[in-house]
Amino acid sequence: MIREFGSEDILFLLLATRWTILLTLASALIGGTIALVVAVLRIVPLRPANWLAIGYINLVQGTPVLGQLFIFFFGFSVFGWSVGAWTAAVTAFSIYASAYLAEIWRGGLQSVPKTQWESSAALGLTYLQRLRYIIVPQAVRINIPPTVGFIVQLIKNTSLASVIGFVELSRAGQMLNNATFAPMSIYLTVAAIYFVICYSLSNVSQRLERRIHVAR
């Protein structure tokens, strides 16, 4: 029986939004940890490490995230392993995020002037110490805008998790549309929620960027 779209449905969408946010946070944290390692491997003066990082980045960026979702959700059943929608989504989006963040952060690390590397080396700092105390703090300022831009993209891409049955914001909208057949009201509400999240994140990024530049 088709019913009208009401306030309780908006509440349902808001509750589903928490899963969109949690999925984004988990993927960004896990993916960011992997990305930091890959970004460092990408710039260290060791060719095999560079090749390994480049191969990983090209493999992930060269395949659609939807295909990666299917592999983790359906693919492991071939070996008799059952993977839940949450686990598959976090794994796929973490790997996806790690490849793109690694390239963003690699660009930030390499944009630090060469003289900073040379000066810190002259002080007797090891390579890791130069990264930790000299290079990374400067690269962070450069990397804030593109990193936030990617996370905004990641928030919107989490809607793809709906195809494996994970109930986040987009999937909740589909479920409500099946019950109310009010696509205009439902999807405008879904779009408005995405906009509020992404716009708020962009504003926080701009304030943080201004504060860091003032402190500098």
Between the alpha carbon of residue 9 and those of residues 153, 176, 177, the distances in Å are 26, 7, 10
Q: State the pLDDT at residue 5.
A: 85
Residue 213 — very low, low, confident or very high, per pLDDT cuts 50/70/90?
A: low
Distance CA 201, CA 77 (A): 37
| Separation CA 108–CA 189 (nearest Å) | 37
In whole angstroms, what is the distance from residue 49 CA to residue 42 CA?
7
Q: How far is CA 70 from the centre of its chain?
A: 18
Band the pLDDT of 140: cuts 50, 70, 90: confident
Contact indicator for 87, 164 with CB cutoff of 8 Å: no
Separation in Å, CA 73 to CA 23, 70, 85, 89: 15, 5, 7, 8
* DSSP notation for 23-48: HHHHHHHHHHHHHHHHHHHHHSS-HH
Query: 10 Å Cβ neighbour count for 150?
Result: 19
**What are the pLDDT digits (tens) for 160-207?**
999 999 999 999 999 999 989 899 999 999 999 999 999 999 898 888
User: Which domains, and CATH codes, for the chain?
Assistant: 18-165 (1.10.3720.10)
CA 136/CA 120 separation, integer angstroms: 13
| Mean pLDDT across the chain | 90
Give yes or no for residue 1 having a pLDDT over 80: no
At residue 215, the pLDDT reads 43
The pair of three-digit structure tokens given for residue 155, joined into one six-digit string: 């928030």
**Quick one: tokens of 54?**
């480049």
Average pLDDT over residues 16-38: 96
Q: Give the pLDDT confidence of 59-117 residue by residue, as tens digits.
A: 999 999 999 999 999 988 777 788 899 999 999 999 999 999 999 999 988 888 888 87
Nearest to 167 by CA among 18, 43, 4: 18
Angle between helices 169-180 and 183-215 (to 10 degrees): 160
Strand, coil or helix: what is 115?
A: helix
Place of tokens 């990641």: 154
